[in-house]
Amino acid sequence: MFKVEDLKFTYAKDAEDVVKGINFEIKEGEIFGFLGPSGAGKSTIFELLQRFYDPNKGSIEVDDINLVDLDPKDLRSSIGHVPQQPTLFSADVTHNIGYGDPMANENEIKQAANKAYALEFIDGLPDGFESYLGEQGVRLSGGQRQRIAIARAMLKDPSILLLDEATSALDASSEQKVQAALKELMQGRTTLIIAHRLATIMHADRILLIDQGHLIAEGSHQDLLASSELYKKLCELQFNH
């Protein structure tokens, strides 16, 4: 699916590289986690995978085609992205979910909402699916906004899923519901997850531990516990806390 070789990138000329010679491969259907402190380069890698920027050095291939040879529209049509702060419109619920597939009908939009565990609160809104959400979805809680974004991704039905800190800003009750929706969304897709919390990615097929733009370690949760002192320390800090 993805093959990344000697990837280097900087946002400004003569500035220090944000990503520093990273290599990895992601197979189709694999769940792949990115772990590291803020500023490590994780979100930059996601931006490069979506071709918002091109590498300064190295290459990214998807299905053996270099990203620079792909039309960005074609690439992004196969990618679903659920960020920490999803973009919502002041329009109604139907419009916000339907943005994932403008050709979808009302029944398909409702099915996507059901799979995203969003029906329970949508039906409780004053006008249901015709309820206007206000600027950036101000009338919804954080967990509700995330489930609207997940429903949108469900409707798009992408082959590749990018989850960027999708639950980090939620309380425990909201996180549980969003995690259930994400589990439904991830089925049968190649999934890349950025996380600060180990619990979010410890069940991934593989985890990349990134720090200051460098790939520090790679492997499953159990592999990294045995081989990486930094990973082991992060586990102790988070789980003991």
pLDDT at 235: 87
**Domain check: are 234 and 141 in the same one?**
no
The structure tokens 């990203």 sit at 67
Q: How many angstroms separate the CA atoms of 54 and 104, rounded?
A: 32
The structure tokens 């410890």 sit at 202
Indicate the residue among 97, 125, 157 that finishes a domain: 157
pLDDT at 170: 78
**Domain check: are 183 and 235 in the same one?**
yes
As a whole number, the mean pLDDT across the chain is: 92
Q: How many angstroms separate the CA atoms of 69 and 72, rounded?
A: 9
Indicate the residue among 111, 138, 157 that finishes a domain: 157
Has residue 174 got a pLDDT over 70? yes
- The domain of 163 spans 1-78+159-241
pLDDT at 166: 85
CA distances from 124 to 67, 119, 128, 140 (A): 44, 8, 7, 11
Domain CATH code at residue 30: 3.40.50.300
CA distances from 27 to 187, 192, 216 (A): 15, 11, 20
Q: How many angstroms separate the CA atoms of 77 and 139, rounded?
A: 29
pLDDT at 178: 86
**Domain check: are 95 and 193 in the same one?**
no
**Domain check: are 144 and 165 in the same one?**
no
**Domain check: are 26 and 62 in the same one?**
yes
Query: What integer is the mean pLDDT of 205-229?
Result: 94
Q: How many angstroms separate the CA atoms of 179 and 103, rounded?
A: 27
Has residue 179 got a pLDDT over 90? no
pLDDT at 189: 95
**Domain check: are 70 and 3 in the same one?**
yes
**Domain check: are 171 and 237 in the same one?**
yes
**Domain check: are 167 and 223 in the same one?**
yes
pLDDT at 200: 82
CA distances from 102 to 96, 118, 137, 239 (A): 10, 19, 19, 43
Has residue 240 got a pLDDT over 80? no
Please write the tens of the pLDDT for every residue from 133-168.
999 899 999 999 999 999 999 999 999 999 998 887
Query: What integer is the mean pLDDT of 187-216?
Result: 91
Q: What angle do CA 232, 234, 236 make, to 5 degrees?
A: 70
Please write the tens of the pLDDT for every residue from 10-21.
999 889 999 999
Structurally, the chain folds into a number of domains equal to 2
pLDDT at 1: 83
- pLDDT range class, residue 27, cuts 50, 70, 90: very high
Q: Is the distance from CB of 32 to CB of 205 less than 8 angstroms?
A: yes
Query: What integer is the mean pLDDT of 200-204?
Result: 88
Indicate the residue among 129, 157, 185 that finishes a domain: 157
**Domain check: are 151 and 164 in the same one?**
no
Strands across the sheet containing 65-66: 19-26, 2-9, 57-62, 65-66
